[in-house]
Copies of this chain bind each other. A is one copy, B any other.
Amino acid sequence: MEPKTIKKIGVLTSGGDSPGMNAAIRAVVRAGFYYDIEMYGVYRGYEGMISNDIKKLESKHITHVLERGGTFLKSARSAEFRTPEGRQIAYNNLKSHGIDALVVIGGDGSLTGAHLFYKEFGIPAIGLPGTIDNDLSGTDSTIGFDTACNTAIEAIDKIRDTATSHDRLFFVEVMGRDAGFIAINAGIGSAAAAILIPEKKMPIEHLVDKLRIRTKAKKASNIVIVAEGGKSGGATEIAALVSKHLPYYDIKVTILGHLQRGGSPSSYDRLLASKLGVAAIEGLLQGKYDVMAGLINNKVVYTPIKKAIVDDKSVDEDDFRVAKILST
């Protein structure tokens, strides 16, 4: 497509926040400045686009944000934006600032918004994968996923200390919505006895057998990782089921929760966010609209948003096999 002339770009974060969003915003803004573009921050995601909470960004706004968790542009979910009327208001607000193009950082819902907006109003829009869940195609890793995995294993390392000291069985629930990426990484990384992910059904009897065998083998600690979106429920439900079969076990549950969303981004997430931030601006300038910029095999790749969202990205079968070998 013949690139349109772009003078002013708006950037926003939407949906659940993830570590590295600030680094991505910074890279988007700094790359914009590099290409002599005026940059605008849309606050609170699409909600701010509708309420016209939009400000011109300067260098000072992005100083010392790279290393901070969360998003200084804030994030929200907007019901109104899902209506054509809401989107019309949003469009009018963008136009009132003279904003030519958009960079949207978020998960599948957020990118869907960008896609719709492009379709309906022809606004050049590009998405960046910002979610800890890693459930977007078109990129090896989403911004925030690596940090969330590190946060999870650091927490589980602490839990293992007490699990081992007391010969306890811990069920630890990690995030990931209906994807098991954090669970599989955290599970392999913490020598878990078993990993329960939404993508795989594991009959409770198998789990119980495995735990029985490990106990006989006097494995030093028993930690079971449960992805939040598991088919048989979360850690609390699984633990209750298991405890019926293993009444003499000292069983505890920890739900790691929202601390997985925060924290200073890892080196990898900073690099990923920085590269994709530059790629977003350069993509827009090259006429790449309605796409998500991702990193595949360390190269920038632009994937149509609809494809990035719809495609099924699932936990690597081989990772699951490795987890099994290492936990026996």
Contact of A298 with B140 in the complex, beta carbons under 8 Å:
yes
Which chain A residues numbered 80 to 104 have a C-beta less than 8 Å away from chain B?
Answer: none
Contact of B159 with A258 in the complex, beta carbons under 8 Å:
yes
Q: In the complex, A109 Cα to B169 Cα: how many Å?
A: 23
- Decide if A205 is an interface residue (CB 8 Å cutoff): no
The binding surface of chain A is classed by DSSP as: helix
Contact of A326 with B30 in the complex, beta carbons under 8 Å:
yes
Could you say which residues of chain B place their CB within 8 Å of the CB of A164?
64, 70, 74
Stretch in contact with the other chain, from A1-9, A115-123, A184-192, A195-203: A184-192
- Decide if A178 is an interface residue (CB 8 Å cutoff): no
Contact of B153 with A30 in the complex, beta carbons under 8 Å:
no
A278-317 to B contact mask, C-beta < 8 Å, 1/0: 1000000000000000001111100000000000000010
Would you give 5 A-B contacts (Cβ < 8 Å), ordered by A? A34-B328, A69-B161, A75-B165, A140-B297, A254-B257
Contact of B185 with A264 in the complex, beta carbons under 8 Å:
no
Contact of A157 with B264 in the complex, beta carbons under 8 Å:
yes
- Decide if A319 is an interface residue (CB 8 Å cutoff): yes
Could you say which residues of chain B place their CB within 8 Å of the CB of A259?
155, 158-159, 254
- Decide if A242 is an interface residue (CB 8 Å cutoff): no
Most buried by B among A146, A268, A278: A268
Contact of A27 with B326 in the complex, beta carbons under 8 Å:
yes
Please give the number of chain A residues whose Cβ is less than 8 angstroms from any Cβ of chain B in the complex: 87
| Contact flag A71-B165 (CB < 8 Å), given A258-B252, A268-B146 | yes
- Decide if A325 is an interface residue (CB 8 Å cutoff): yes
- Decide if A150 is an interface residue (CB 8 Å cutoff): yes
Could you say which residues of chain B place their CB within 8 Å of the CB of A254?
255, 257-259
Query: Nearest B residue to A281 by beta-carbon distance?
Result: B325
- Decide if A224 is an interface residue (CB 8 Å cutoff): no
| Contact flag A267-B152 (CB < 8 Å), given A166-B76, A298-B140, A326-B31 | yes
Which chain A residues numbered 9 to 64 have a C-beta less than 8 Å away from chain B?
Answer: 13, 16-17, 19, 21, 26-27, 30-31, 33-34, 59, 63-64
Contact of A298 with B316 in the complex, beta carbons under 8 Å:
yes
Contact of A325 with B268 in the complex, beta carbons under 8 Å:
no
| Contact flag A161-B262 (CB < 8 Å), given A31-B326, A66-B191, A278-B326 | yes
Contact of A69 with B258 in the complex, beta carbons under 8 Å:
no
- Decide if A110 is an interface residue (CB 8 Å cutoff): no
| Contact flag A326-B267 (CB < 8 Å), given A75-B166, A262-B160 | no
Query: Nearest B residue to A153 by beta-carbon distance?
Result: B267
Contact of B266 with A157 in the complex, beta carbons under 8 Å:
no
Q: In the complex, A163 Cα to B261 Cα: how many Å?
A: 10
Could you say which residues of chain B place their CB within 8 Å of the CB of A17?
161-162, 165-166
Query: Nearest B residue to A156 by beta-carbon distance?
Result: B259
Q: In the complex, A261 Cα to B263 Cα: how many Å?
A: 20
Contact of A165 with B74 in the complex, beta carbons under 8 Å:
yes
